[in-house]
Structure 1
Amino acid sequence: MSTPIESPAAQIPVNGAQTALAAAPTNKKQPYPFWLGGTPLDLTKVRMQATGDKGMINSIKKTVRTAGVLGLFDGITGTWFRQMTYSICRFWAYDESKKLIGADAKSPAWKLALAGSMAGGIAGFVGNPGELIMVRLQSDFAKPPEKRLNYKNCLDGLYRMVKEEGWSSLARGVGPNVFRAILMNASQLASYDFFKAELLKTGHFEDNIYVHTTASFAAGTVATTVCSPADVLKSRIMAASGAEGRSTLGMIRLSMKNEGPMFMFKGWLPAWTRLQPTTMLIFITLEQLKNAVDWYRGDI
């Protein structure tokens, strides 16, 4: 009697399923749902960047002193709106960009960075109104009372911006925002794939949560440093309104004159403190969601 031959899928461990399935020409993996990609530290970062508050702890103390503990959550609706537009869009665009240029997680770093840049450009443009409203809501209470916009929430802010400043106001700061989004996605998404692939190449690691945690930690540090200059400019331009608005070059000249070149890294610590756990949670959760989708489809 002949011995039954096991299927290729049964002969490989779970962690190797994705590699084997990808190599099989008759069993091409389906794309993941786009919506898989969809704090007080963010508030502190924006206020330090937009108003010149010195030091993360001092900025937090100032907010609590002037607005109470609940003041740390000013602009939370803007954060939600931004997440529902920019964040969801960028993961979908990254996957589509990789397919367009023929890249995957094992591709060279420059190819991953190119796909990340393409995704950042798309997501930065789509998410600009959400980013704009978030920055204005978070920086408003730090301004003198006579200069505050006093938006009730993100929807009220959108309505008033269009009514008082015209539809073109929704594009305020789109240049530095798109540039920052390109830097963010080229550094964060691409560096995560790069670090993960390099760890797996050593042969000492398996594709599991430990690799995901290490790669996402490294990606968060790289992304914070690369994006800091554009992030500062974006926050300062978006926090201004009406006649206060300045061009990107004008804002650079003014900031360089008043603060020197290190203004580009204003708020780096709260930005890193916010982005680091966020980056880790995003990628660890995304990997688990992908595993769940694979399980549901019967791929593992």
Structure 2
Amino acid sequence: MSTIAAQTIIKDEDPAAFIRPPPNKKKPYPFWLGGVAATIAASITHPLDLTKVRLQATDDKRMISSLKKTVANGGVRGLFDGISGTWMRQLTYSICRFWAYDESKKLLGANTPNAPPWKLATAGVMAGSIAGIVGNPGEIIMVRMQGDAAKPIEKRLNYKNCFDALFRMVREEGTSSLMRGVGPNVVRAVLMNSSQLASYDFFKAELLKTSYFEDNIIVHTAASFAAGTVATTVCSPADVLKSRIMSASGAEGKSTIELIRRSMRNEGAMFMFRGWVPAWMRLQPTTMLIFITFEQLKNLVDWTRSFRESN
């Protein structure tokens, strides 16, 4: 028997010769990554969010005049009124929604590039239902702290920070106050996640199906721009109601139906889209910053893991 033939037999009889190491399954990203990205984005766009809330919940009529009024009353620092409430909201609501969205996609089998839009939207609905409840206290605190300086002095709550707001709400209004406006907030969270998160995944996947794009910052920017416009329009009615209910204190904020009737009677149906422009101007860069930052944080995690494995 020739040497080559003998080697062939040995190779054929040796199972180890055919064993291939299984491909390394990519580790999941930290569940809090999306919340950190959202916190960074919200910190940058806080002045626009502040203006949106004041337009929706006070007598301010125009975005520029509202911004000027804020600076006149509180200086440049006034543009960051309630920033600790924003951080509390993002570190509860956003962490929860990104985690729940990923888990819901796994449950529905939608964590693939070819996932149908209805599955992505359903995952967004599931995530929003959970995050809207978990993040409700932070949402109330954020809205109250942002709108407080625009109120008459005698009606201001004067919370020192988000923790002072939390303790005072429980002490002065009871634990149930933490769930005030939870209905509209959950509706808005469902609308936001099924439009913003799902549409980002959809637009990103559609762009990557073409031969013109790669998975880079250009695609992330384009997909997030489209997602921001979709989300602003879909969420506007619930956003307006949420801001008005949460900014109210005492008996005036207890009846959602009465608030809707009063707003319809005084302003007409278009009150539901009041503040759309500042909402878009705030949500658009926020959405873009969230997803661009999120993708870059994922790249950083990948780089860190590769560095550790190579050393």
Q: TM-score normalised to the size of structure 1?
A: 0.88
1:247 paired to 2:255: yes
Deviation string 1:53-88 (CA, Å, 9 cap, x unpaired) is 111111112222233332211111111111111111
Following superposition, the deviation at residue 135 of structure 1 comes to: 0.5
The one of 285, 289, 301 equivalent to 1:277 is 285
Aligned-residue CA RMSD in angstroms? 1.8
Secondary structure of the residue that 2:32 maps to in structure 1? helix
Q: Take 2:115 and 2:238, find their aligned partners in 1: how far apart are those partners?
A: 27
> Of residues 113, 123, 127 in structure 2, which corresponds to 1:119?
127
Structure 1 match to 2:30: 33
Structure whose alpha-carbon radius of gyration is higher: 2
Where 1:34 maps in the other structure, the secondary structure is coil
CA distance in 2, matches of 1:268, 1:125: 24
- Report Cα offsets for 1:130-155 as digits up to 9, x if no partner: 01001011111111122111111111
SS in structure 2 at match of 1:103: coil
Which residue of the partner structure matches residue 49 of structure 1? 56
Map residues 159-238 of structure 1 onto 2, 5 A cutoff: 159-238=167-246
Q: Structure 1 residues 228 and 148, CA, compared in 2 at 3 Å: closer, same or farther?
A: same
Shift in alpha-carbon separation, 1:26–1:255, aligned structure 2, 3 A: same
Gaps of 5+ in 2: 1-20, 36-45
Partner in structure 2 of residue 12 of structure 1: none
1:101 CA drift (Å): 1.0
Aligned equivalent of 1:288: 296
Distance in 2 separating the partners of 1:100 and 1:295: 28
Alpha-carbon distance, 1:25 to partner: 7.8
Residues 151-205 of structure 1 show CA distances to partners (whole Å, capped at 9, x for unaligned) of: 1111111111100110000000111011101100110000000001111122221
State whether residues 51 and 142 of structure 1, in contact with CA within 8 Å, keep that contact through their aligned partners in structure 2.
yes
Q: Distance in 2 between matches of 1:227 and 1:54?
A: 20
Deviations 1:264-287 (A, max 9, x none): 111111111111111111111211
Match of 1:256 in 2: 264
After superposition, what is the alpha-carbon deviation per residue over 1:112-147, rounded to whole angstroms, capped at 9, x for unaligned?
000011111111111100010010111111111221
Other-structure match for 1:93? 100
Partner amino acid for 1:55?
R
Q: Distance in 2 between matches of 1:284 and 1:25?
A: 32
Deviation of 1:97 (Å): 0.7
Whether contact under 8 Å (1:161, 1:170) holds in the other structure is yes
Q: Deviations over 1:2-24 (max 9, x none)?
A: xxxxxxxxxxxxxxxxxxxxxx9
Residue 291 of structure 1 deviates from its aligned partner by: 2.4
| TM-score in terms of structure 2 length | 0.85
Give 1:248 deviation, angstroms.
2.3
Q: In the TM superposition, what is the alpha-carbon distance from 1:26 to its structure 2 partner? A: 5.2
Query: Gaps (5+ residues) in structure 1?
Result: 1-23
Q: Structure 2: how far apart are the matches of 1:150 and 1:264?
A: 28
